Structure 1
């Protein structure tokens, strides 16, 4: 049983805003320290950024409006805690405590990801999809239910009928769709809105990729300040995660679909 939401779901719009702020941070600084939380809904977007970067509020508002549309922006930018900042001085160290799990993707997960992307390519609007064995549930806004029933005759499509979706129907928040992003690899911590020094990002990516490579479950834990995880220097794990983010086109692109 697996769930997937598309890039126009309000939660994913929030993740994309956080990702775009990270993309900007890495343009402004080589090793920025950033943690972003976004709450979006009903014409408003509240964004809190803890960071070492000297962001201009106007630049953040431009990101929000590009992704979320004409919303009222409430942006708060504060300095990252001095103890957290000091932890990274002179060497790349683990930026958080956490537990992590990487799981090989199942055929069901891969199948639903393909279905979700296919529907989104036709209907680039808010959508949510569930696959439970042979049972497929499709909730797709701004699409004729009859058209989707023709494409997927055995699916349960829009149980309440045609709908409009978006953040005027449902609010969105960062890291609220981790199952959609990580499949069976969900444990602690979220993938979005944090720089690569944070274990929530880098160790989650590392564990997921190792599980795909080995075909086995991967379980890891770390303490803030660790310089080695799973027998590897933490800076190597950060580099692997950075290469992965670069390969998919940046943090905003990564936020659209997550790891699968």
Structure 2
């Protein structure tokens, strides 16, 4: 087993790394609201710190770890990468997938956990505002997400509004500056993902009847474009203007 980390918590070494995450005993885990993920994700609490553990391929884990560390250096709102565990073997000597370890963002929730019965229009509006602000900041930074969605975002209440944080960076790339094509591709992916997430909520009877999935998609894009224009608009003033 090999652990890559800037600063390893010694307690991490005592976890059952020879067992697939899906089979870890409950005694090692803590129950926290969890978003939809294509990977096996588990939470552990060690020395009063909660960590999120995601099982994935080594190349993907290393890329995401490096990206999250790079985003942390520029103070971007994202979860903190802690370590990668590679070269895992089970008790029979068979290889297991790598594990990316991130620090759980205290008081944050996935979007589906922000409502207990039904997502109301005012809550949806605040979520969309937070997500649009996150993506604008992301694009200004030169980060192309590649999988913009509510599911890949954590939300934390902030004085009556929400603050959004990137939680899944495995499809992302960081550039000196994004082209218009890269921005447009992210927004098109956002359209598709948000529409699908709204349909899922609607099917589960968790979406208020006043919320139209197609209108939500148009709304989030409009919020993004409006905010992007506000922060990037450059007005030319003639030299002789007073």
TM over 0.5: no
TM-score by length of structure 1 reads 0.24
Larger Rg: 2
